[in-house]
Amino acid sequence: MTTEAERKLEAKAGNTFHLFQEYLNEELGDVRTQVTALKDAPISGESKQIIDRLQTAVNEQANEIKALKIALSQPRGYDSPESKKEALALERKAAFNRMLATGTINGLKDEQRKHIKWDADAGVETKALYAADMTTGGFLTVPEYVDDLLKNVVLISPMSSIVDMRVTSKPWIMTPKRTQTASAVRVAEQATRTETQNPRFGLMQNFPYEAYAFTLISRTDLDDSELDLGAFIMAEFAEQFAKLQGNEFINGLGSGSSQAFGFLKDTSITSGATVTAATAAIDYASLVKVKTSLKPAYMDNATWVWTNETLGAIQALTDSQGRPLWIPFGGTLPNTIFGRPWIIAPDMPQLAASAFVAAIGDFKKGYQGVVRKQVSMQVLNERYADQNAVGYFGYYRFGGTTKVTEAIKVLQAHS
């Protein structure tokens, strides 16, 4: 039984051959007649050779036409593999166009649905490309790259914000310091006046020792990274220098270790520490005692210094009825203790037996920091060229020391 598709194909083939035959007859008919006439006419040997070549060409064309005629007249039913491919392509195209028009597979007839790949479990059409398969589309699903970097917070003691910071262009700073005061005494009207105690002086030296940071970055990373690695390294170095400075202003060992001299290492400050009543704990009375041990002249500019954990212990203080001693104002806790502000310094010792857990003082008068050279960066482009790398060298010259020790008082946890 001949289908509609077969009939269309046969009609198309017949029309094509008929038109092609008419075209050949029109184009080659005159040539064939002229060649026959020339062949019968008396001509020279050279002309005859030309005519023979023309006759040969006409015969070759006639043979090709005959072969084409046979091919076009060949039956092209479903038994022909070529016919099957053409018919299948037409059916798939029709099914695809109908699905685009309706927007759903439900609009297709049963014989059309078989041409659409369908995931019955998920209820969606199966796509030709897959993001999960790298070779069939996954490489093309490029994610968005955020030009930012997730990193943990670096805890820095902000001591430079409360101490006396000086910038110098000299190798070090030398500051005159009074080490002894004058004195005044009573005397009788006619008594001999003798020399009283005279002031004494000394020099406080503050050396800005050098700190450095160094890293190598491959040129490939510098070229291909989404982040500006050069700028990132500079910011990273500056952050670490700030961390180092904050730590040394509290715990630095001094000139013997090429460090700043921390105020907790000055025995003239720590030897007079106020000790808490309970072991490894803070109590209200001890806070009052250490505050009042500071001379009133320093109280107006005094600042408390402690860790976040110590602050929490202070906030947790209660009276005998369990009521908090640090009472919130307007729903928030005040940022002062006894009217004086505080800062969180993670380099202060944690609450533990014998630890200096808190300090209060006028740090502008009590401690001096010095900077000889701000954070500087040197980029070494050529030195590590054989390693395909660029060196980033950062350095910072700073120092610090106590200057008026009585302006700082510390609280020590009982042992």
Q: Tens of pLDDT along 247-266? A: 999 999 998 999 999 999 99
Band of pLDDT at residue 164, cut at 50, 70 and 90: very high
Whether 57 shows a pLDDT value over 80: the answer reads: no
- Percentage of the chain beyond pLDDT 90 is 39
d(CA 58, CA 32): 7
Contact 51, 38 (CB under 8 A): yes
Number of domains in the chain: 3
**Are 226 and 248 part of one and the same domain?**
yes
Q: CA 35, 40, 41: angle at the middle one, nearest 5?
A: 95
Nearest to 339 by CA among 297, 293, 408, 288: 288
Domain region containing 334: 159-179+201-414
Provide the CA 232 distance to its chain's centre, in angstroms.
Answer: 9
Mean pLDDT of 392-406: 93
Whether 194 shows a pLDDT value over 50: the answer reads: yes
**Are 274 and 133 part of one and the same domain?**
no
* Residue 148 bridge partners (DSSP): none
More confident residue, 109 or 367: 367
Band of pLDDT at residue 241, cut at 50, 70 and 90: very high
d(CA 71, CA 349): 99
Q: Which long-range contacts (CB under 8 A, 24 or more apart) does 216-220 make?
A: 216/384, 216/387, 216/389, 216/390, 216/391, 216/392, 217/389, 217/390, 217/392, 218/387, 218/388, 218/389, 218/390, 219/388, 219/389, 219/390, 220/388
- The Cα-based distances of 332 to 45, 172, 308, 335 in angstroms read 123, 45, 17, 9
More confident residue, 335 or 50: 335
d(CA 104, CA 123): 11
Which range has highest mean pLDDT (56-70, 163-177, 292-306)?
292-306
* Domain assignment of residue 187, yes or no: no
**Are 86 and 220 part of one and the same domain?**
no
* Domain assignment of residue 163, yes or no: yes
- pLDDT one-digit tens code per residue, 341-385: 999 999 999 999 999 999 999 999 999 999 987 788 888 988 988
**Are 120 and 267 part of one and the same domain?**
no
Mean pLDDT of 143-147: 61
